[in-house]
Structure 1
Amino acid sequence: MLQIYKSLESGPLQELTLKTLEKGAWINIVDPTPYELKVVSNLTEVDPDFLRSALDDEERSHTDVEENSVMVLTNVPVFRGEDSYDALPLAIIVTDEFIITVCLEETPVITEFNERTSRLFRTYKKTRFLFQILYKSATYFLRYLRQISKLSEEIEDQLRHDMKNSEILRLLELQKGLTYFNAAIRSNGAVLDKLLRMRNNTSLTPILKAYEEDEDLLEDVIIENKQAKEMVEMYSKILARLADTFSSIISNNQNLVMKFLAAMTIILAIPTVVSSFFGMNVPVPFADNAHGFLYVMCIAFSISIVSAYVLWHRDMF
């Protein structure tokens, strides 16, 4: 999918096509075809490798600089549903005339920039728009981390009452999401630090024109990313300890069940031993007694009761 927009001076977005492409436009590419990549590369004179960099879902955040373009590859958060979270690479390419975004999927970070919010950004202010996208990504990391925190509390409450496998699997899914977020936020932090150093690079001034308010926005992005980094580390430790705690509880419950079954086995084995003793094909007590069976049963149950009391006293039940 390929969409082209350009902000008008009055605020609204104007939708363009490849034939009506103008300077200052924003080209948004989602899961592109080879033809779309080739056309955009020819029209914007951007290195095709820049456009393809975000199509590898394992690509780490980094920046690349060419003579006429700067590519910032960042990882953005994605909510998959059913307690599943992930991070996807998003390439933001800034040239003298255009800003291009490339991603494998449509993400809320990009969809936030639409006709409804068009007065909050300008596509022709490319550097500021770049920082706004990075800021939006950081805010979504924070939003999803708060969701994970609430979900983990919900799972903890349910596990306190009933330890179901489904709840433990949900906990595992959240841990996977935090692992992806942790890797993405760390690599994004390295990119932001590099952008902070690049802002004073005079060779990139024609491409990344940073004004004072833009620099303030970049600093806000760095602060938000650091906060997300601290939160993901804290929540990762909490979930890890939560999983260890419930693992210990499950193991302890299993030991209690095994101890109970062992005690019951001992108690049930006593009548079997007694009846086997009196069932031998040799002269035994009470063999000629009319109430012999009753006596044997009383002996067996008496020994079983005494054994049960001893086991209960030793906390086997």
Structure 2
Amino acid sequence: MISAYITTHEGLVPVDTWEDGCWIKVVNPTEKEISLLVERFGVWVEFFTDPLDVDERARFEVDEGNVLILIRSPRREPEEAVIPYITLPIGIILTGHVIITVTLTEVDVLDEFLSGWVRNFDTRTRTRFALQICYRTALRFLRYLKDINRMSSQIEMNLHRSTTNVLLLDLFNLHKSLVFFTTSLRSNSLMVEKFSYSNILEMTDEEHDLYEEMVIENKQALEMANIYTSIIMGMTGTFASIINNNVNVVMKLLTSITILISLPTLIASIYGMNVHLPLQDNPFAFSFIMFCAVAASALGLFILVRWKVL
């Protein structure tokens, strides 16, 4: 799917033609659409196909004045998904007249620009717009990292009283998301740092300031991802032991209850035999037997409490 937008005095508006200064948004293009774009702008076909590979690493390439910036961006998965967050590549193609973004699916970062969440951007200033996409990507990483930290804290609270592995699996899936984030952020940081000495982008002073902020946010996001990964790895082992301990506590309680119930059951079983028994002709035999059963259970409870079993 191909759509085009341009910034005017009314804001970002869709356009029907690929005019100079517009932003061409390409999502999961067909071979026919790719051929049309390649023919129209004279760009390598790989510039359009590489961002469609979910495992493509962050990098940049230059071909006859056209620049491909490939950056990995986070995406929140639907609630029914096993892994809550993944990363996908975004291809940013800078030509002499337009800026083109290529993605396999809709991504959260680009939706921010379409929804009006991001202000002060202009599709006609292609370098600044590309830097803003990279900057918003770093901020999106930070936002999702905070969400992951909040989710892990909630899981931690529930794990204290859990006796199943469901929450541990949730924690493991969060760890997978953090691994994706860490790998992508490391790749993004290496690619972004190359901007400073590659001179592929001619930046104004204002754009250079934006670039510096982007580098800082990328480093901060990478540090946070590493910290949260270490925390969750430690939590996984710790809470696996806690769950085992919770199961042991439950088993100990059930065993103690079984012992306390077995004592009156033993007495009742003896007096249920079809043989001559003491007190069988006594009118107070039932009361005496019940008293003995309760006393045996009380004595057993006292012993278990004294031994700190309960």
Q: Partner of 1:189 in structure 2?
A: 189
Q: Partner of 1:71 in structure 2?
A: 68
2:58 to 61, 65, 71: 61
Q: Partner of 1:144 in structure 2?
A: 144
The yes-or-no answer on 1:217 pairing with 2:226 is: no
| CA deviation string 1:236-278 (max 9, x = no partner) | 3334444444433332221111111222223333344455566
Q: Secondary structure at the match of 1:257?
A: helix
Task: Give the TM-score, by structure 2 length.
Answer: 0.81
Tell me, in whole angstroms, the C-alpha distance in 2 between the residues paired with 1:163 and 1:140: 35
Contact 1:12-1:119 at 8 Å conserved across structures: no
Q: Secondary structure at the match of 2:77?
A: strand
Q: AA paired with 1:130?
A: A
Tell me, in whole angstroms, the C-alpha distance in 1 between the residues paired with 2:302 and 2:12: 83
Tell me how far 1:183 sits from its aligned partner. Answer: 2.0
Task: Count residues in correspondence.
Answer: 306
Q: Partner of 1:286 in structure 2?
A: 278
Tell me how far 1:92 sits from its aligned partner. Answer: 0.9
Report the more deviating stretch, 301-310 or 40-49.
Answer: 301-310
Tell me, in whole angstroms, the C-alpha distance in 2 between the residues paired with 1:117 and 1:54: 24
Report the more deviating stretch, 117-126 or 88-97.
Answer: 117-126
Unaligned runs of 5+ in 2: none
Tell me, in whole angstroms, the C-alpha distance in 1 between the residues paired with 2:141 and 2:15: 31
Q: Partner of 1:229 in structure 2?
A: 222
| Closer/same/farther in 2, CA of residues 149 and 198 from structure 1, 3 Å limit | same
Tell me how far 1:167 sits from its aligned partner. Answer: 5.9
Q: Secondary structure at the match of 2:209?
A: helix
Tell me, in whole angstroms, the C-alpha distance in 1 between the residues paired with 2:252 and 2:13: 73
Identity of aligned residues (%): 36
Q: Partner of 1:305 in structure 2?
A: 298
Tell me how far 1:300 sits from its aligned partner. Answer: 5.2
Q: Partner of 1:267 in structure 2?
A: 260
| Closer/same/farther in 2, CA of residues 286 and 305 from structure 1, 3 Å limit | same
| CA deviation string 1:3-30 (max 9, x = no partner) | 223445x68556444xx43344322101
Report the more deviating stretch, 233-242 or 23-32.
Answer: 233-242
Q: AA paired with 2:191?
A: V
Q: Partner of 1:121 in structure 2?
A: 121
| Closer/same/farther in 2, CA of residues 258 and 15 from structure 1, 3 Å limit | closer
Task: Give the TM-score, by structure 1 length.
Answer: 0.80
Tell me, in whole angstroms, the C-alpha distance in 2 between the residues paired with 1:272 and 1:234: 57
Contact 2:163-2:247 at 8 Å conserved across structures: no
Q: Secondary structure at the match of 1:113?
A: helix
| Closer/same/farther in 2, CA of residues 237 and 118 from structure 1, 3 Å limit | closer
| Closer/same/farther in 2, CA of residues 278 and 102 from structure 1, 3 Å limit | same
Contact 1:50-1:93 at 8 Å conserved across structures: yes
| Closer/same/farther in 2, CA of residues 48 and 311 from structure 1, 3 Å limit | same
| Closer/same/farther in 2, CA of residues 72 and 289 from structure 1, 3 Å limit | same
Tell me how far 1:79 sits from its aligned partner. Answer: 2.1
Unaligned runs of 5+ in 1: none
Tell me how far 1:286 sits from its aligned partner. Answer: 2.3
Q: AA paired with 1:50?
A: F
| Closer/same/farther in 2, CA of residues 118 and 278 from structure 1, 3 Å limit | closer
Contact 1:85-1:177 at 8 Å conserved across structures: yes
Contact 1:178-1:236 at 8 Å conserved across structures: yes
Tell me, in whole angstroms, the C-alpha distance in 1 between the residues paired with 2:118 and 2:236: 44
1:248 to 241, 248, 261: 241
Report the more deviating stretch, 30-39 or 305-314.
Answer: 305-314
Over the aligned positions, Cα root-mean-square deviation in angstroms equals 3.4
Tell me how far 1:224 sits from its aligned partner. Answer: 0.4
| Closer/same/farther in 2, CA of residues 148 and 117 from structure 1, 3 Å limit | closer
Tell me how far 1:161 sits from its aligned partner. Answer: 7.5
| Closer/same/farther in 2, CA of residues 108 and 94 from structure 1, 3 Å limit | same
Contact 1:13-1:115 at 8 Å conserved across structures: no
Contact 2:18-2:24 at 8 Å conserved across structures: no
Tell me, in whole angstroms, the C-alpha distance in 2 between the residues paired with 1:262 and 1:281: 30
| Closer/same/farther in 2, CA of residues 187 and 119 from structure 1, 3 Å limit | closer
Q: Secondary structure at the match of 1:120?
A: coil
Contact 1:12-1:118 at 8 Å conserved across structures: no
| CA deviation string 1:111-151 (max 9, x = no partner) | 33349579723334322222111011111111222233334
| Closer/same/farther in 2, CA of residues 241 and 60 from structure 1, 3 Å limit | same
Report the more deviating stretch, 225-234 or 289-298.
Answer: 289-298
